[in-house]
Amino acid sequence: MRGPRAGDISKPRRGALGHAAAAAAAAAAAEAAAGAAAAGAAAAAAAATAAAKTATTQQQHYHHHHHHHHHHQQQQQQQQQQQHQQQHHHHQHQQHQQQHQQQQQHQQQQQQHQQQQQHPQQQQQQQERTVQLLLRCSIQTETIPVRSRTPHGHPKPVLQQRALQCTAAAAAAAAAAAAAAAAAGEEETAVDGQKQKQQQKQQQ
């Protein structure tokens, strides 16, 4: 699980903006860095949780719909080939399979809940790293030497660019942590879905 490196982010170009506009942007970024530390960590956790829940819901809905459609085709074929008594027996068997499928879905939800309880420790470690990165950025920005500042007291453009890059790298790290947590949830849901399919085929 590797997030984007800070060096991969291209340096922002000043273009037609003057030193005053760049200085204002860097000052705002430096002030926002400390506040973004806590907000970024909370947003990463919320995004990871929401993504995992969405993936779980979509996966269960797909498997349930596919399983129901498959049974409907089987029922049509057996109505043409078998007698009324056999149809009645098949209907009972289908009800039993549906009950078993509901039990499997309940077990699958319990397993996912246990796995989600294991993930928060990894997410917390990733968030702590992101917070440390943001704090380091804000400290670096605040401790710029006086000689590196302009006559108005603002940091020079080169140092401003570094501060902006550092903040962007921290935000990218938080996004990578959320994406990795969501991907792990999707893989676990897919594995559970394959097991459920195999068990249903054996019953048929």
> pLDDT tens for residues 113-165?
666 555 666 767 777 777 677 666 655 555 555 555 566 666 565 666 666 66
pLDDT at 104 over 70: no
pTM assigned to the model: 0.23
> In which band, very low, low, confident or very high, does the pLDDT at 197 lie, cut at 50, 70 and 90?
low
Q: How far apart are the first and last CA of the chain?
A: 40
Calpha distance 56→25 (Å, rounded): 41
Name 157's Cβ contacts closer than 8 Å, sequence gap at least 6. 14, 19, 22, 23, 26
User: Of the ranges 59-73, 115-129, 171-185, which is most confident?
Assistant: 171-185
Residue type, 192: D
> In which band, very low, low, confident or very high, does the pLDDT at 105 lie, cut at 50, 70 and 90?
low
Report which of residues 80 and 107 the model is more confident about. Answer: 107
Token duo for residue 76: 């049509």
Count Cα neighbours of 77 within 13 Å in the Cβ-side half-sphere.
5
Q: Taking a C-beta distance cutoff of 8 angstroms, is the pair 188, 50 a contact?
A: no
> In which band, very low, low, confident or very high, does the pLDDT at 24 lie, cut at 50, 70 and 90?
low
Percentages helix, strand, coil for the chain (3-state, rounded to 5) are: 85, 0, 15
